[in-house]
């Protein structure tokens, strides 16, 4: 059975009663590993209200956890100053948008929350884990004037982006979190996902009996054997495992592993 078939047949057992009430049988988060071989396009996402009006979709809040990055690697997040819509339009016309953007130097373990309306891009060489609302609505505003195999520029959505863009400079995106070993460290709590950082250097069991939600574990370093009352699986860097809402506990047998724990 594929994952959606399992959800359709056992929605509450897999997702949790509260998740089903909110999202029915649509899985509410997407997990991605993004390995940027080159600078990725500069884009943003609309909020729920605009996405519903235009696309009958949710908007997209997301977070990034940097798993690996070379020296001098960076991310683009927001503008480097508060600007007006007219200044943004002028920069697109004159091909100077890059001069208005904020560049964040990054290293392994850095984490960021990308709110709706926040212009952003992933720089070359960065490997990261992305956690986001289930939404496919992206407004691309610049792609470095690259052309495809047919010598055509990639489609942009500059006009649609205008109503979604946050033109204010806000230093509200870098996530400050504890890295205490062998306990759960809060990173992000928002209506669409909660994320904790867990660094284990010994075996550990986590009580899930009071959690009315599925739980996803994303391995960002190391490995472990993950076990519940229904079986076990080996989890390695760059892999994820989902623990169904009906599970009462999860245990990790490991000498060292770094995890992102995602639930609703």
Segment 175-196 shows an average pLDDT of 97
Q: Tell me, what's the pLDDT at 88?
A: 97
| 23-38 confidence digits (pLDDT tens) | 999 999 999 999 999 9
Q: What confidence score (pLDDT) does residue 241 get?
A: 97
Please count the other Cβ atoms lying within 10 Å of the Cβ belonging to residue 53.
Answer: 11
The pLDDT score that the predictor gives to residue 165 is 98
The pLDDT of residue 132: 97
Query: Are 257 and 200 in contact, with CB atoms under 8 Å apart?
Result: yes
187-240 residue pLDDT tens: 999 999 999 999 999 999 999 999 999 999 999 999 999 999 999 999 999 999
Q: List the structure tokens of 4.
A: 């959606």
Tell me, what's the pLDDT at 150?
87
- Residue 127 CA, chain-centre distance (Å), reads 12
Bridge partners of residue 43, in order along the sequence? 120, 140
Which tokens belong to 110?
């850095």
What does the pLDDT read at residue 149? 85
Helix ranges, the chain (H): 3-9, 11-15, 17-23, 48-55, 85-94, 158-162
Q: Which residues of 162-184 are buried (b: 16+ CB within 10 A; e: fewer)?
A: eebbbbeeeeebebeeeeeeeee
What residues form DSSP beta bridges with 194? 189, 263
Which residues have a Cβ under 8 Å from the Cβ of 122 and sit 6 or more positions away?
Answer: 34, 36, 39, 40, 64, 75, 76, 128
pLDDT confidence of residue 112:
98
What is the CATH T-level fold of the domain 192-263, as seen in this structure?
Jelly Rolls (2.60.120)
Does residue 140 have an active-site annotation? yes
The mean per-residue pLDDT over the stretch 53-79 comes to: 96
pLDDT for 181 equals 97
Q: What pTM was computed for the model?
A: 0.95
List alpha helices for 97-229, DSSP H.
Answer: 158-162
**Counts of helices then strands in the chain (DSSP H, E):** 6, 16
Local confidence band at 247 (pLDDT 50, 70, 90 cut-offs): very high
pLDDT for residue 148:
84
Mean pLDDT of the chain: 96
Four-point Cα dihedral 86, 87, 93, 94, nearest 10: 160
Asked, colleague to colleague, whether 29-162 and 192-263 share their fold, the answer is yes
What are the CA-CA distances from residue 108 to residues 98, 128, 129, 202 (Å)? 25, 9, 11, 22
Taking alpha carbons only, the member of 52, 36, 181, 56 closest to residue 122 is 36
For domain 29-162, give the CATH number: 2.60.120.10
pLDDT score recorded for residue 147: 87
Domain extents in the chain: 29-162, 192-263
Question: Model confidence over 109-141: pLDDT tens digits?
Answer: 999 999 999 999 999 999 999 999 999 999 999
Residue recorded with tokens 């940097």: 66
Other Cβ atoms less than 10 A from the Cβ of 13: the count is 16
Mapped onto helix, strand or coil, the DSSP state of residue 53 is helix
Out of 22, 54, 140, 146, pick the active-site residue: 140
């Amino acid at each position: 059975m594929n994952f959606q078939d399992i959800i359709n047949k056992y929605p509450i057992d897999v997702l949790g009663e509260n998740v089903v009430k909110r999202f029915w049988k649509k899985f509410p988060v997407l997990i991605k590993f993004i390995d940027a071989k080159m600078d990725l396009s500069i884009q943003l996402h609309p909020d729920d209200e605009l996405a519903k009006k235009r696309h009958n979709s949710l908007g997209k809040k997301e977070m990034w956890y940097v798993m690996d990055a070379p020296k001098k690697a960076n991310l683009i997040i927001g503008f480097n100053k508060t600007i007006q819509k007219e200044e943004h339009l002028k920069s697109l016309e004159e091909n100077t948008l890059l001069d208005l953007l904020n560049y964040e130097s990054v290293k392994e373990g850095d984490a960021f929350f990308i709110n709706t309306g926040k212009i952003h891009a992933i720089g070359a060489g960065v490997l990261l884990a992305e956690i986001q609302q289930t939404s496919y609505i992206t407004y691309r505003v610049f792609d470095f004037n690259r052309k495809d195999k047919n010598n055509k520029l990639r489609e942009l959505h500059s006009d649609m982006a205008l109503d979604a863009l946050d033109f204010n400079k806000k230093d509200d995106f870098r996530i400050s979190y504890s890295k205490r070993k062998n306990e759960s460290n809060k990173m992000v709590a928002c209506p669409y996902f909660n994320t904790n950082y867990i660094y284990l250097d010994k075996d550990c069991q986590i009580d899930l009996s009071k959690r009315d939600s599925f739980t996803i574990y994303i391995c960002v370093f190391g490995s472990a054997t993950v076990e519940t009352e229904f079986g076990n699986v080996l989890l390695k860097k760059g892999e994820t495992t989902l623990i169904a809402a009906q599970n009462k506990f999860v245990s990790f047998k490991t000498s060292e592993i770094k995890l992102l724990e995602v639930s609703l």
